[in-house]
Structure 1
Amino acid sequence: MKQMMKWVNRMVTSILLILLVSIAGIVLSTKLTNGEPQIFGYQIKTVLSGSMEPTILTGSVIAVKSLDEAERSSLKAGDIITYLDEERLITHRITDVLATEQAVRYETKGDNNNSADSNPVLAENVIAKYGGFMIPYLGYLINFTQTANGSVLFMIIPGVLMLGYSIVTIWKTIRELERKHVLLEKE
């Protein structure tokens, strides 16, 4: 039983440490990239519409690879891109490439949309290319954490859990020290 408790204690400590380091890394990455978290060169985006279903589900988190100028101009039909349209980011599939001497433009369409997007996308407005990685429904949780209630919930609960775990660990250590002290006095 004692071995089992030690194993559980080590597992909980390891998990908390991994979570702490991961969160610190994501926060640091977010600060360094002006709010665009990057993991291994991929930006993490939340998909809020159903225009790309069933390829990308509404509420999913996707990984997109940032593109340099040369890569933006060499995309092809079938690639899924994230581009800036006025003040919002859109992720759609390229249906056609319109290349002229002046510029490269892409006709795009959401997989679930009936028609192509009304305006072709200039290559310089392309932010990234979809990397094929998606976590369904995690975007709903991320959006919730950005609300006032979500921020409180996701800051207070982990804090209370870590405080509780620390109190239990300290209490057990003190109890063990007192037990050893009593044994030494008996000798």
Structure 2
Amino acid sequence: MAKKAAKMVLNGLFGLFVCFAIGYAVCMRVWPEETAAFVGYRFYTVVTGSMEPTIPTTSVVLTRCLKEGETPQPGQILTFKADRLGEEIVLTHYLREVKPDETGRVRFYTQGENADRYDDYATYREDLIGTYVLHIPYLGKIQAFLISSNALSMFVIVGLILAVYKLMLKNMDLTEQLQAAQLRPGVAGPAGPETEPVPRAKKRERRHARPKRKKGPAVQEASRSVRLHGAALERVTPGTVRFSGEVENTGDAPLEALLLEVRLLDGHGRQVGTGEVLLAGGALEPAGRRAFSAEWKADPLAASYAVKVRREPQPAAECAAVG
């Protein structure tokens, strides 16, 4: 129990982390500045070796955004914006010195770890993004792949494979459950008289309107009635089912040569097989009962049945079955 609870907690935490990561990525894509201001941190990928070995190439750097009025100190590693030939880029370098330039503005002098002089970029307070917190080596390669078109194609293919695999597992589980149940009485019950499908509301109306009857599925045969008692469908072998029970004559005249036409149905009510039982033993007297039993080859998905009773021209000498 404790292991199961711990596993549930870990799965929950992992799910929350994944949801947060996806939400953060989406928000940074749509509202980058607002999201960074709210969270207070941003991620950047290092694409050059200017800070090696301290920060290897393809590392992902976590930067804490500077607060309003906050001034970094020399010796810290900064993430800042720079103008390179008219193109705005983002760099992560050491802050070496803070002093006014020739115009009197406070300038932040930065330098790469492997450089022998300060950067040529003129960096001011409005160019600063934040201070370095930590880095994760090589995560940038994964990040670069995830935002590429190849990743999108791969996700679509993997999603389709997982969907097909899940559907196959569902079908296999259904088949195994039906086989494991062995279609014992009470598991595969009667589907009732053979009728056309009707809406659920009309079924309720008919159920309340019809008079109460004895237990057991009543099946009409011409002007006479018969009733099945203890009818059950059970699995004998993976490919064979047995249908057994008793037939009662609820009419006021003897019945001869009764034929039970059985439709085998799957869990969704679709027909997956048929069978017939000729009731042996001569005429069935009023209020009399007679046992029957027959076996047929059947689809593994057969889970229930529907029965129709009719008269045969000649009485049968024994029970017959057609698989």
Give the stretch that moved more between structures: 74-83 or 137-146.
Answer: 137-146
Task: State how far apart, in whole Å, the 1-side matches of 2:162 and 2:69 are.
Answer: 47
Q: Residue 170 of structure 1 aligns with which residue? A: 170
Tell me, yes or no, if structure 1 residue 56 matches structure 2 residue 59.
no
Query: Paired residue for 2:73, among 72, 76, 86?
Result: 76
Task: Output the amino acid matched with 2:109.
Answer: E
8 Å CA contact 1:98–1:104 kept in 2: the answer is yes
Matched residues in 1 for 2:39 and 2:169: separation? 35
Measured in 2, the distance between the counterparts of 1:47 and 1:89 equals 9
Per the TM alignment, residue 62 of structure 1 is displaced from its structure 2 partner at its CA by 1.0
Higher relative contact order (CA 8 A, sep 6+): 1
Structure 1 segments (4+ residues) deviating >6 Å: none
CA contact (8 A) 2:82 2:121 kept: no
* Structure 1 residues not aligned, in runs of 5+: 1-6
Q: How does 1:1-187 map to 2 (within 5 A)?
A: 14=11, 17=15, 21-31=19-29, 33-34=31-32, 41-71=40-70, 74-86=71-83, 87-99=88-100, 103-131=105-133, 133-153=134-154, 155-160=155-160, 162-164=162-164, 166-171=166-171, 173-175=173-175, 177-178=177-178, 179-180=180-181, 182-183=183-184, 184-185=187-188, 186=234
User: Structure 1 pair 126/35, CA: closer, same or farther in 2 (3 Å)?
Assistant: closer
Would you say the 8 A contact 2:64–2:132 is kept in 1?
yes
Give the deviation of 1:126 after TM superposition.
Answer: 0.3
Structure 2 Cα separation of the partners of residues 24 and 117 of structure 1: 36
Distance of 1:172 and 1:17 partners within structure 2: 28
Do the aligned partners of residues 20 and 75 (structure 1) sit closer, same or farther apart at CA in structure 2, a change above 3 Å counting? closer
Aligned AA for 1:84?
K
Q: Report SS of the residue matched to 2:159.
A: helix
- Measure the CA separation in 2 of the matches of 1:42 and 1:160: 35
SS of residue matched to 2:90: strand
| TM-score, with length taken from structure 1 | 0.74
Matching residue of 2:318: none
Tell me, yes or no, if the aligned pair for 1:36 and 1:44 is still in contact at 8 Å. Answer: no
Deviation at 1:135, TM superposition (A): 1.1
SS of the equivalent of 1:62 reads strand
Aligned length: 173
Structure 2 unaligned residues grouped into runs of 5+: 189-233, 236-323
Aligned equivalents of 2:64, 2:183: Cα separation in 1: 62
Q: Over residues 166-185 of structure 1, what are the superposed CA-to-partner deviations in whole Å (9 max), with x where a residue is unaligned?
A: 33552354235423472424
Helix, strand or coil for the counterpart of 1:171? helix
Per-residue CA deviations over 1:19-59 (Å, capped at 9, x if unaligned) read 75245323443245338975953211101000011111100
The TM-score normalised by the length of structure 2 is 0.46
RMSD: 3.4
Q: Corresponding residue for 2:209?
A: none
State the identity as a percent: 27
Distance 1:182 1:35, change over 3 A: farther
- AA aligned opposite 2:55: I
Structure with more strand by fraction: 2
Per-residue CA deviations over 1:76-119 (Å, capped at 9, x if unaligned) read 11111111112110110101111479532211001122221023
CA distance in structure 1 between the partners assigned to 2:146 and 2:35 by the alignment = 15
1:31–1:58: structure 2 CA closer, same or farther, 3 Å change rule? closer
* Higher Cα radius of gyration: 2
Match of 2:93, SS? strand
Deviation at 1:75, TM superposition (A): 0.7
